[in-house]
C-alpha cells in the first residue's frame, strides 16, 4: 500500500513515486530466513562491502591528522581531485592532447545522483521535456517528476538499445536533453560507441544537451575507450558526463560523484550545489583521490571479478531459458530478464521474497505506468553475489511455480 502524501496533489513532489529501493526493503521488513537458505538480496547495485582496508586506514589518518577535512571546502570540489578526474578522463577516452579535459571542466558532487540533479537544474524547468530511454533509471524519472519536467519515454528495442530515429521523432520545442546511461541501469547493456556518436550528433543538431551517465564505466567489459564523444572539438556545447566513485572504491556512504561539463555550465551548477550541500564530503573526496592514485591494480581486479560473475550468470542461464525465461541484457552490475509467468512482475517480485528467498526489483519500477513490458520483466543486481551465490540464485528461480 502506498502511503498517502500530506502534500497537496498539485505539488510535483506529491506526484513523485516513492523510492523503489525503499519500497522493496519493506517487503523483507520483519522477516527471517533460514540459515541454510539466506535471503539473496539482488535489489540494489551498491557494494555491500566496505572500502579496502588500505583505503579505510587512509580515511582514518585523514580524519585524525588533517583538520581541513572537517571544514567547508570548495563548492565544486577539491582542485586536486578535479585535476585527477580530468587526468583519468583524458586517459580513458583518449582525448586530444591539444584540447584535453581540464580541472575546470570537472565538478565533484555528493554522489552521481546529485551530479544529475545539479546539471538538470541548469537544463530544464517546469513544463520542459527530457527524453529518457525505457527502461529508465528510476531516480532520473523521479527528478523529472518532482521538478515538473516531463519524462518522455523512448522505448528500447529487443537489444535494449534506444533507436535514433524514434528519438528524433520525440524532440519538440520543449525538449532540453536526451539522457543515456551506459553501462545501462537497469538493463546492463553497454551502448556501442557509434550509437553514442549518432545521439551526440542528433542532440547537437537540435541544440539540446546529451547527458551520459557512466556511473558503471569502471566495469565495462570492453577494452579501450567506450566512446569518442570527448574527442569532439565542441563537446562542451552539447555533452554532459556523470561518474560515481561509489562503485569503484566502495565509497557509497561517503557520497562522492563527478560531473564533466563546460566551465560555463559549471558556474550554474555551482549555484545549485552551494544551495543544497555547500560542498562535497571532504573525507570522501580525499578518499576518492587516494583511491585513484593508489588502487589501480585493486580496481582492475574488482572489474575482473564483476565480469567473472557476469559470465557465471550468462553461462548458467540455460535452465531458466528452457523454462521460458529470457535474458535481455547483462553488463555492469545488472542482468535484465523477462519471466514466463501470468503473475505481473509487481506481484512476482514480493512473492519471490517469501517463496524463493530472493529480493529483486520488478520492471514496473523502470517503465511508464501501464507499459506491458514492465509486467514481464525483472532487474537482477548480481554484483554482490559470488559465483556460487549466482548459481544458487538461478537454481531458486528455475524451481519456482507461482
pLDDT in tens, 354-378: 999 999 999 999 999 999 999 999 9
Cβ pair 35, 41 in contact under 8 A: no
Cβ pair 280, 108 in contact under 8 A: yes
State the alpha helices, DSSP H only, in 259-356.
Answer: 263-276, 282-294, 296-315, 318-322, 345-356
pLDDT at 12: 80
- Domain with residues 53-295, CATH architecture: 3-Layer(aba) Sandwich (3.40)
- Residue range 190-197: mean pLDDT, rounded: 97
pLDDT at 402: 77
Q: Strands across the sheet with 377-381, in order?
A: 326-331, 334-338, 377-381, 361-362
pLDDT at 9: 60
Three-class secondary structure of residue 363 per DSSP: helix
pLDDT in tens, 327-357: 999 997 999 999 999 999 999 999 999 999 9
pLDDT in tens, 259-283: 999 999 999 999 999 999 999 999 9
d(CA 174, CA 361): 32
Three-class secondary structure of residue 74 per DSSP: coil
Topology classification of domain 12-50+298-398:
3.90.1150
User: Is 197 or 1 the better-scoring residue by pLDDT?
Assistant: 197
Residue 8 has pLDDT above 70, yes or no: no
Residue 196 grid coordinates:
553514442
Cβ pair 259, 86 in contact under 8 A: no
Cβ pair 267, 277 in contact under 8 A: no
Give domain limits for the chain: 12-50+298-398, 53-295
Residue 168 grid coordinates:
528524433
Confidence band, pLDDT 50/70/90 cuts, at residue 217? very high
pLDDT in tens, 162-180: 999 999 999 999 999 999 9
Q: What percent of the chain has pLDDT over 70?
A: 98
Q: Please classify residue 100 by burial: count the beta carbons closer than 10 Å to its beta carbon, then call 0-12 exposed, 13-18 middle and 19+ buried.
A: middle
d(CA 97, CA 90): 8
d(CA 211, CA 240): 5
Confidence band, pLDDT 50/70/90 cuts, at residue 18? confident
Confidence band, pLDDT 50/70/90 cuts, at residue 111? very high
Q: What is the mean pLDDT of the chain?
A: 94
Do 12-50+298-398 and 53-295 share a fold? no
pLDDT at 15: 80
In this structure, the chain runs to a length of 402
pLDDT at 283: 96
Q: Please classify residue 248 by burial: count the beta carbons closer than 10 Å to its beta carbon, then call 0-12 exposed, 13-18 middle and 19+ buried.
A: buried
Q: Where are any strands of DSSP class E within 110-191?
A: 129-134, 150-155, 175-181
Residue 56 has pLDDT above 90, yes or no: yes
Confidence band, pLDDT 50/70/90 cuts, at residue 2? very low
pLDDT in tens, 113-159: 999 999 999 999 999 999 999 999 999 999 999 999 999 999 999 99
pLDDT at 21: 85
pLDDT at 47: 80
pLDDT in tens, 218-247: 999 999 999 999 999 899 999 999 999 999
pLDDT at 13: 79
Confidence band, pLDDT 50/70/90 cuts, at residue 1? very low
Q: Using alpha carbons, select from 379, 389, 312 the residue that is nearest to residue 43.
A: 379
Main-chain dihedrals φ then ψ at residue 261, nearest 5 degrees: -160, 175
d(CA 395, CA 402): 15
Proportion of the chain in helix, strand, coil states, percent, rounded to 5: 50, 15, 35
In degrees, rounded to 5, the angle at the alpha carbon of residue 200 between the alpha carbons of residues 195 and 204 is 150
The DSSP element (H or E) to which 109 belongs, if any, is strand 106-109
- For residue 109, give every residue at least 6 positions away whose Cβ sits within 8 Å of its Cβ, in sequence order, or none: 77, 115, 118, 256, 257, 258, 259, 273, 277, 280
Amino acid at each position: 500500500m502506498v502511503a498517502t502524501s500530506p502534500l497537496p496533489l498539485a505539488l510535483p513532489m506529491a506526484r513523485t513515486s516513492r523510492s523503489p529501493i525503499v519500497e522493496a526493503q519493506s517487503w523483507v521488513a520483519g522477516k527471517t530466513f533460514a540459515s541454510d537458505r539466506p535471503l539473496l538480496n539482488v535489489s540494489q547495485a551498491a557494494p555491500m562491502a566496505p572500502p579496502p582496508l588500505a583505503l579505510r586506514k587512509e580515511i582514518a589518518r585523514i580524519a585524525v591528522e588533517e583538520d581541513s577535512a572537517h571544514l567547508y571546502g570548495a563548492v565544486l570540489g577539491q582542485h586536486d581531485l578535479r585535476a585527477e578526474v580530468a587526468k583519468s578522463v583524458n586517459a580513458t577516452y583518449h582525448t586530444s592532447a591539444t584540447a584535453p579535459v581540464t580541472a575546470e571542466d570537472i565538478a565533484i558532487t555528493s554522489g552521481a545522483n546529485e551530479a544529475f540533479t545539479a546539471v538538470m537544474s541548469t537544463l530544464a524547468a517546469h513544463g520542459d521535456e527530457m527524453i529518457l530511454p525505457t527502461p529508465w533509471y528510476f531516480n532520473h524519472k523521479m527528478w523529472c517528476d518532482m521538478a515538473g519536467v516531463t519524462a518522455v519515454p523512448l522505448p528500447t528495442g529487443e537489444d535494449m538499445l534506444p533507436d535514433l530515429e524514434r528519438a528524433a521523432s520525440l524532440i519538440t520545442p520543449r525538449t532540453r536533453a536526451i539522457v543515456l546511461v551506459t553501462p545501462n541501469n537497469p538493463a546492463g547493456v553497454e551502448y556501442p560507441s557509434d550509437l553514442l556518436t549518432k545521439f551526440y550528433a542528433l542532440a547537437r543538431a537540435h541544440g539540446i544537451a546529451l547527458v551520459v551517465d557512466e556511473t558503471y564505466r569502471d566495469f565495462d567489459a570492453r577494452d579501450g575507450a567506450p566512446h569518442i564523444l570527448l574527442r569532439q572539438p565542441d563537446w562542451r556545447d552539447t555533452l554532459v558526463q556523470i561518474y560515481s566513485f561509489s562503485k569503484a572504491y566502495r565509497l557509497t556512504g561517503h557520497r562522492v560523484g563527478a560531473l564533466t561539463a563546460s566551465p560555463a555550465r559549471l558556474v550554474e551548477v555551482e549555484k545549485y550545489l552551494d544551495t543544497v550541500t555547500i560542498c562535497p564530503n571532504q573525507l570522501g573526496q580525499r578518499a576518492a583521490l587516494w583511491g585513484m592514485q593508489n588502487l589501480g591494480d585493486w580496481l582492475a581486479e574488482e572489474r575482473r571479478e564483476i565480469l567473472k560473475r557476469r559470465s557465471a550468470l550468462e553461462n548458467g542461464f540455460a535452465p531458466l531459458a528452457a523454462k521460458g525465461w529470457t535474458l535481455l541484457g547483462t553488463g555492469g552490475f545488472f542482468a535484465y530478464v523477462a519471466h514466463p509467468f501470468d503473475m505481473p512482475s509487481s506481484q512476482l517480485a514480493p512473492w519471490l521474497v517469501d517463496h524463493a528467498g530472493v529480493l529483486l526489483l520488478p520492471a514496473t519500477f523502470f517503465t511508464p505506468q501501464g507499459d506491458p513490458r514492465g509486467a514481464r520483466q525483472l532487474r537482477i543486481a548480481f554484483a554482490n553475489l559470488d559465483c556460487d551465490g549466482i548459481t544458487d540464485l538461478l537454481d531458486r528461480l528455475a524451481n519456482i511455480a507461482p
